[in-house]
Amino acid sequence: MSSEINLLYSKKQRRKYKLSSQVRYLRLGALGFLFLVTLISMTFFLLVVASPLTSLKQEELKQNQILTQSEDKIRKQTLLILRMNDISTIVAKRSVFDQILKAFISKLPKGVRIKEFTAEKKQVTLTVQSSNSKDIEVYMDLLGQMVSAKTYLSRVFLDSIAIEVGNDKQASDFRARFIITLL
């Protein structure tokens, strides 16, 4: 077989033919790619168009319109909650001087009376008076117990004891002044 016979492909021609068949596959691939891309694009377009967003927006609008009729109720309820939260904070943080004074009075031994009571923020000054020094002593102990039991008080400091002498040269009146720190 001679290479001069014209019916046979030369080496160059064979390479060319091979390249041509590869290009055919590539062309098919390219067309497939284009088709796929178009299909995906169309799918996304349809998904966006067919989404239930419009109907949901309409539903939201409808619900809003319904609630507009109850506007007064909503405002009142919201304000009630806000107000009650504030009130709750106020009530929790208020001073309890009434309860402290009640505790002081309830523990007074017979014959002892409160002469002075001043209270501000976390400090209380208490002066008690009695004709009997023993009673004052008992009261001091009771205040000490209140500190131990952590009943309103964190610290009691005996500031002074004043003794009044009567005409008979006998001690007739005792006054104890306490400076008290509250919890």
Partner 1 sequence: MLRDISTIRTFEDIRLFYFKYKDLPEFRLAGVLVVFLLGALIVWKGILPQTHDWFSVQDEIKATKERVSQLQANQSLIEGMAQSKLDKDYAVAATALPYQKDYAGMIESIDGATTVSNMERNDYSIEIGNLSTKSAQLSPQTTITVKVSLQGDAAGLQKFLSQLTKELPLSEVVSVEYTDMAVSLEVNFFYKYLSPSTKFPYTNPIQTLSPNNQKLLKDLAIWQNAQISLDAPNFLPTETATESGN
| Binding to partner 1 in span 80-99, by CB under 8 A | 80-88, 90-91, 94-95, 97-99
| Binding to partner 1 in span 52-81, by CB under 8 A | 52-53, 56-57, 59-60, 63-64, 66-68, 70-81
Candidate list 38, 133, 145, 160; residue touching partner 1; CB under 8 A: 38
d(CA 104, CA 76): 43
Binding of partner 1 by 2 (CB under 8 A): no
Binding of partner 1 by 30 (CB under 8 A): yes
Pick the piece of the chain touching partner 1 (CB under 8 A) from 34-42, 136-144, 154-162, 168-176.
34-42
Q: What is the pattern of x (binds partner 1, CB under 8 A) and - over residues 131-160?
A: ------------------------------
- Closest CB 2 distance from partner 1, rounded Å: 27
